[in-house]
Amino acid sequence: MRELSRVLCPIDFSEFSMRAYRYARSVAWHYGARLSLQHIVEPWQYPSADFSASPELFDQFYDALREKSEEGLQQLVKTSLHDGVHTECIVQVGMASDCILGFAKAQETDLIVLGTHGRRGFDRLLLGSVTEQVIRKASCPVLTVNDPSQGFIGSEKQPGPIRLSRILFCTDFSENSRRALDYATSLAAEYNAELTLLHVLEDSPDAANIQPAIATAIEQLDTLIPQEAHNAGKVKTRLTVRIGKAYQQIIQLALEAQTDLMIMAVRGSGALDLAVFGSTTHRVIQFGPCPVLVVHD
């Protein structure tokens, strides 16, 4: 996350977005960043509303929704006014993903924090409608928060020191993972956290070639750490190679190591199809035990 000056947190007033809000506010507090709370009124959610006979009723209806949403955001901010985080509230009418992406780009946002529905409601339809679109198209990193059993904020109710002790960076050695590694190493150095670099061999080699394959992957992982970080001893690293299904091995290691934050890279919207997203990133976000920082290429 390096230096942050603007953090965006979309709010729909669900328990999921409330979790994300606590993380967003804590990060903004830590970095002295401006926090934007955004609520989107989506017309499609009101299919029974018919204003064809009176455009004035249409305006009145959405004005009332905007006013109610603004009051909700302001009430949320009032609970944390004493923490000194500069917060602005934005209410827009439109499609959620378009509004989030448009605002983030216009404001040169450094980080988007999104709440996800986790195991109970994070299905492909929901992912495709909002979260997937934001992750695929955002020009800045996206921190996804479900219902973490392990996290890095100091308090559930108020901002506090960010406590990052264990970071897990997952890589397939593709070029797009380089930028994500930059975030991983900078965070590890800033918080004196242990950084684990993980590569999963999904195509299991035969018994005679398992050890050579692991050794080769370890060598590749070692070359990823910047030499200056090695020399200065700024980053404590562990190199790990596992064999199996990528998302399963990532989640298992995160559980075993009590990881505070996972960092993954995604390819651009033109290259990232649903099958690839669904097989790894989707499931890590869905079932992982901690927040996931997704970095676009």
Q: CA angle 81-85-89, nearest 5°?
A: 80
Query: Do residue 60 and residue 99 come from a single domain?
Result: yes
Place of tokens 């980080």: 111
Q: Which range of residues forms the domain containing residue 214?
A: 166-296
Q: DSSP string spanning 181-232?
A: HHHHHHHHHHHT-EEEEEEEE-SPPPGGGHHHHHHHHHHHHHHHS-HHHHHH
What single-letter DSSP state applies at residue 105?
H
CA neighbor of 258 nearest in space, from 193, 200, 192: 193
Q: Are residues 14 and 116 in the same domain?
A: yes
All residues at 6 or more sequence positions from 254 whose CB lies less than 8 Å from its CB, including other chains: 150, 168, 262, 288, 289, 290
Could you read off the pLDDT of 161-215 as tens digits, one per residue? 788 999 999 998 887 788 889 999 989 988 899 999 999 998 777 767 889 999 9
Q: Amino acid identity of 205?
A: P
Query: Does residue 213 lie within any of the structural domains?
Result: yes
Do 130 and 172 reside in the same domain of the chain? no
Rg (CA), the chain: 21
Please report the pLDDT score of residue 278 as a whole number.
47
> Is 184 within 8 Å of 195 (Cβ atoms)?
yes
Q: How far apart are the first and last CA of the chain?
A: 15
- Per the domain annotation, does 160 fall within a domain? no
In a domain, 271, yes or no: yes
Mean pLDDT of all residues belonging to the chain: 83
Residue 198 sits in a domain of what CATH number?
3.40.50.620
Query: Do 37 and 128 fall into the same domain?
Result: yes
Please say if the pLDDT value at position 105 is more than 60. yes
Residues 111, 218, single domain; the answer is no
Inform me whether the pLDDT recorded for 256 exceeds 80: yes
101 and 58 in one domain?
Answer: yes
Same domain for 54 and 116 = yes
Residue 1 covered by a domain: no
Which residues lie closer than 8 Å to 291 by C-beta, 6 or more apart?
23, 143, 144, 145, 146, 148, 151, 152, 260, 261, 262
Share of the chain above pLDDT 90, in %: 45
What is the predicted pLDDT for the residue at 276? 46
Indicate the number of domains in the chain. Answer: 2
Q: Is residue 155 part of a domain?
A: no
Our measurement of the distance from residue 58's CA atom to the centroid of its chain's CA atoms, rounded to an integer in Å, reads 35
pTM score, two decimals? 0.87
For 40-64, letters b (16+ CB in 10 Å) and e give: bbbeeeeeeeeeeeeeeeeeebbee
Instruction: Indicate the SS3 state at residue 18.
Output: helix
